[in-house]
Structure 1
C-alpha cells in the first residue's frame, strides 16, 4: 500500500483523470443522445445503468489489456494487395474500424431521421422506438469502444493497475453527474443535438484514422501502417479534433444568437 502513496503516482492519477475527462467528452455526448431513443420514463435509468455497467466492464477491459498488451499488439494478419490495400491489422485496428463505422452509421442515421420528421411532436412520439435494454446495450458497447483509446493512452502514462482503475471510476462518476445535465440541455436546445451528431460524425472519422496506425504504433514499425490506393491512413491529431469541435460550437452559438437578434428585430418592426 505504501508503494502506491508516492508523489509520482499522485501526479499520474491527476493526469489520468484529466485525460479521461477530455477523452470522455465524445462518450458522454453519445450517451446523452442515444439515451433519448429509449422510452421517456426510462431514459434516466438507461443513462445510469448504461454508465455503471460500462465503467465496470471498462475496469475488466483494463485488466485484460494490461495483462495481454503484448499479445494484443501483434498483427493478426497482413494485407498485401499492392496498390489497393496494404498494411498490418491487429486487435486495436479492428476495434477502431468497427467503432468508427458504427458511430458514423449512427450519426448519419439520426441526422436523416431528424430531416425526415415534419413536426417536433412526431419526433417526440417516436422516442419509444427502442427498448431500454437495447439502448443500454448500445451505450455499454460504444463505451467500451471509446474506452479502448483512452486505456491505451493511459497505459502510456503508467502501468499501475490501481491508479488506472481509480481514474476510470472517477471518470465514470463524472459521467453520472453530468449525463442528465447534458441530456436536458440537448432536449431544450435541439439545434445543439444536431451539432452533437456532427461531432460524433467527426469522432467516427477520427477512429477510422486511428485504425490505420494502430499496428504500426504498437510494433514501432511504420511499414505496418495501412495504405489505401497507395495513400497512408493518417489519424487526425487530438488538437485538430478539439479545434474542429470548438469551431463548430462557436459557429452554432454565434448563429443562434444572430437568429434570435433577427427574430427580435422582426418582432419590433411588426409592433
Structure 2
C-alpha cells in the first residue's frame, strides 16, 4: 500500500479525477434525461442504482482491459474496398460506431417525441413511458459506452489499477451527488431538455468520429484508419466539442432572455391600451 502513496500516483489521481469530470459531463446529462422516462416515484432510485451498477461494471471493464488491451487492439477485420470503404475494425471501433449510432438515434427519437402533439397533450404520462428496470439497464449500457473512451484516455496516463479504480469510484460518487440536482434543473427549465438532447446528438457524432482512428492508433498503423470514399474519418477534438456546447448554452441563454424581454414589452403595451 505504501508504494501506491507516491507523489506520481497522487498527481495521476488528481489528473484522472479531472479527466473523468470533463468526460463525464455528457454521461451525467444522459442519465438526467433518461431517468425522467421512468415512473416518477422510481426516478431517484433509477439514477442511484443505474450509476452504482455502471461504476462497478466500469471497474470490472478497466480490470479486463488492462489485461486484454493487446488482444482488444488487434483488428479482426480489415476492409479493402478501395475508394469506397477502407480501414481496420477492432473492438474499440465497434463500440464507438454502435454507441454513437445509438446515441444519435436516442436523441433524434426524443426530439421528435417532444415535438409531437401527443407529447404536449400527455406530458405527465410520457414521463412514465418506460419501466424503472428498463431505464436502469439503458443507463448502465450507455454508461459503459461513455466510459470506454474515458478508460482508454486514463490508460494513457497510468496503468496502476488501484489509482484508476479510485478515480472511477470518485467520479461515480460525484455523479450520484450531482444527478438529482441536474435532473431537477432540467425539470424546472424544460427548454434545457431540448438543449441537452442536441448536445447528446453532438456526442453521438463525436463517438462516430472516434471510431475512425481507433484501430490505427492501437496498432500505430495509419493505413488502418477508417476511410469513406477516400476521406479519413477524423474525430472531433474535445476543444471543438466543448466550444460547440458553450455556444449552444450561450444561444439558449440569450434567446431566453430576449424572449422574456419581448414578452414584457408585449404585456406593457397591452397595459397601456
TM-score normalised according to structure 2 size: 0.98
2:88 counterpart SS class = strand
1:17–1:171 Cα contact (<8 Å) kept: yes
| Pairwise CA distance, 1:117 | 3.2
> Equivalent residue for 1:192?
192
What is aligned with 1:61?
Answer: 61
For 1:135 and 1:21, the matched residues in 2 are separated by 23
Q: CA deviation at 1:53?
A: 0.3
**Cα RMSD between the aligned structures?**
0.9
1:58–1:119: structure 2 CA closer, same or farther, 3 Å change rule? closer
> Which consecutive unaligned segments of at least 5 residues does structure 2 have?
none
The alpha carbon displacement at 1:119 in A equals 6.2
Structure 1: gaps of 5 or more residues: none
Tell me which residue corresponds to 2:47.
47
Q: CA deviation at 1:120?
A: 4.0
User: Pairwise mapping of residues 1-271 of structure 1 onto structure 2 (< 5 A)?
Assistant: 1-117=1-117, 120-271=120-271
Find the aligned partners of 2:266 and 2:63 in 1 and give their Cα distance.
60
Q: Is the 8 A contact 2:38 2:135 kept in 1?
A: yes
d(CA) in 2 for partners of 1:211 and 1:174?
28
| Counterpart contact for 2:33–2:193, Cα < 8 Å | yes
Query: 2: CA distance between counterparts of 1:250 and 1:86?
Result: 39
Using the alignment, how far apart are the partners of 2:254 and 2:114 within structure 1? 22
Q: Deviations over 1:100-134 (max 9, x none)?
A: 00000000000000010356451222211110000
Task: Decide whether the 8 Å contact of 1:88 with 1:215 is kept in 2.
Answer: yes
Partners of 1:261 and 1:17 in 2: how far apart?
Answer: 41
Q: Is the CA contact 2:46–2:132 (under 8 Å) kept in the aligned structure 1?
A: yes
Q: Which moved more, 1:110-119 or 1:146-155?
A: 110-119
8 Å CA contact 1:90–1:214 kept in 2: the answer is: yes
Q: Distance in 2 between matches of 1:234 and 1:250?
A: 27
SS in 2 for 1:129: coil
Specify the SS of the correspondent of 2:135: helix
> How far 1:262 sits from its partner (Å)?
1.0
- 1:84 Cα shift? 1.2
1:117 and 1:123 in contact (8 A); partners too: no
SS in 1 for 2:198: helix
Q: Deviating runs (4+, > 6 A) in structure 1?
A: none
* Paired residue total: 271
SS at match of 1:157: coil
